[in-house]
Structure 1
Amino acid sequence: MAATIVSVINQKGGTGKTTTTINLGSALQKLGKRVLLIDLDPQANLSYSLGLTEPERTLADVFTGQHSLPDILQECDGLQVAPGSNELVDVEISLVGQESREQFLQSMLQETKGFDYILIDCPPSLSLLTVNALTASHEVIIPLQMEVLTLQGLGQILNTVKQIKSTLNPALKVKGIVVVMYDKRRKLSLEIEEYLQDNVEERIFKQRIRLNVKLAEAPSFGKSVLDYDSASNGAKDYLGLAKEYLAAK
């Protein structure tokens, strides 16, 4: 059975996108799924957070045809990872003049076998790399902070998904919105949560990802929070999210 390909997307930086990609992936792996993480962000935060600080081969080498995707994969605590690098900036520039430039990642992913889920950490912008990810994906997950400006960004993301669905990938769907960095003591969090429930048609996962210091510490040790401290609230929340994700239709 082919892997389910999931883009984790938010067009604003610092929204928990990389944290969600890593820890949802790790939680799915703990639940017995075979998971591949794709670091499509030129900042390569996902790679760094998993201890891949100077990978010999990266995703940029696959885009330029120097290596196949299976050639660059590295194992991190049971996860397979396709490392990113700053060279993806140059890759994106070179893609602009290419024919079928939106389908490059889709073709690359067809080379991979043996995975249940492929999670793509997208750049924090509507770039050509992001369009590649959305064109290749079956589903989108949107991490969302409980901040006023993120609501504006959510509308932009949903419009982007709608555009990709109508032009490049009719099968694309929003799997759900993940509330991250959640603090129920803040009145604003509760107000925005209520607004989402009343105004957003897409699924909002019931599992909240609470503010948790262990989530912030884990990347310093090159681990997911589940491998860094399995008893932490961060680990419990992402495991709960993975279970809810698997149960969602």
Structure 2
Amino acid sequence: MKTTIVAVINQKGGTGKTTTTINLGSALSKLGKRVLLLDLDPQSNLSYSLAVAKPDVTLADVFLGNKKIKDILVEKDGLWVAPGSNDLVDIEISLVQQPEREQFLKNLLSEIKGFDYVLIDCPPSLSVLTLNALTAAQEILIPLQMEVLTLQGLDQIMNTVNKVKKAFNPNLKIKGVVVVMFDVRRKLSQEVLEYLQENVREKIFDTHIRLNVKLAEAPSFGKSIIDYDASSNGAKDYRALAEEFVRA
């Protein structure tokens, strides 16, 4: 079984990165794919959102060499989760001093077998942990809100990707941009989308994730949107995205 490692990245917080990682992963699992979610963000919002809030061991223990990744995995509604924790802040500080510090995660993930997809929820910054994710991944998925500052943020991401390709991971490619929190009633949303479609060479997924109250509620119940409310627009959108993602 070939494993595809996908880094879900946006260098700005609050952009739907964690929501996309969880719900795309859940939708892929409903398509029969075996999916591992990696919570690489020290804020560990992904772990919290799936009710894996206080695990005994986390990715920090793996980076320290105390555990193998397979030893920390938690099963949740058909997904596997490698939990994060605030201890990753200390890991990041220690990594700065290490030779080949960008390669740690890639080496750790080489032990992972039996998954179709590994989706990495990256920190909302260009940190050593984010560089580790980009070095380990084959593909990048970029969630974007349709705001004016989005365009500046996308340029920053593209510059980062190009630097990582040159320095650490020449085979890295952008899977595509997924439009999130899309408000069909706002003229600005449509205008930014049209600009992206006309000016961005990378793939923009046809599926747009609409603004949806149920999407915001689901983490409070420790569930993906599909397990929380399968009939909601959020669930419909992420199922459609998963089908498009597999075909892309």
Q: TM-score range by the shorter chain?
A: over 0.9
Residue number in structure 1 paired with 2:242: 242
Residue number in structure 2 paired with 1:192: 192
C-alpha displacement of 1:100: 1.0
SS at match of 1:179: strand
Paired letter, 1:67: K
Superposed, 1:169-208 pairs within 5 Å as: 169-208=169-208
C-alpha displacement of 1:79: 0.3
Residue number in structure 2 paired with 1:230: 230
Determine the C-alpha separation between the residues in 1 that align with 2:144 and 2:159.
Answer: 16
Paired letter, 2:151: L
Superposed, 1:208-227 pairs within 5 Å as: 208-227=208-227
Paired letter, 1:126: L
Superposed, 1:128-167 pairs within 5 Å as: 128-167=128-167
Q: TM-score scaled to structure 2, two decimals?
A: 0.99
Residue number in structure 1 paired with 2:8: 8
C-alpha displacement of 1:166: 1.2
Residue number in structure 2 paired with 1:107: 107
Deviations 1:174-210 (A, max 9, x none): 0000000001110100110111011100000000000
Paired letter, 1:210: R
Q: Are 1:98 and 2:62 counterparts?
A: no
Paired letter, 2:152: Q
Determine the C-alpha separation between the residues in 2 that align with 1:194 and 1:22.
Answer: 27
Residue number in structure 1 paired with 2:74: 74
Deviations 1:82-129 (A, max 9, x none): 000000000000001111100000011111110000000000000000
Paired letter, 1:157: I
Please list every run of 5 or more consecutive structure 2 residues that lacks an aligned counterpart in the other structure.
none
Residue number in structure 2 paired with 1:55: 55
SS at match of 2:183: coil
SS at match of 2:141: strand
Paired letter, 2:135: T
Determine the C-alpha separation between the residues in 2 that align with 1:228 and 1:177.
Answer: 25
Please list every run of 5 or more consecutive structure 1 residues that lacks an aligned counterpart in the other structure.
none
Determine the C-alpha separation between the residues in 1 that align with 2:237 and 2:31.
Answer: 14
Deviations 1:193-240 (A, max 9, x none): 111011100000000000001100000000000000001000000000
Q: TM-score scaled to structure 1, two decimals?
A: 0.99
Residue number in structure 2 paired with 1:46: 46
SS at match of 1:178: strand
Aligned length: 248
Determine the C-alpha separation between the residues in 2 that align with 1:212 and 1:2.
Answer: 34
Determine the C-alpha separation between the residues in 2 that align with 1:26 and 1:138.
Answer: 20
Paired letter, 1:18: T
C-alpha displacement of 1:14: 0.1
Determine the C-alpha separation between the residues in 2 that align with 1:168 and 1:217.
Answer: 39
Paired letter, 1:59: L
C-alpha displacement of 1:2: 2.6
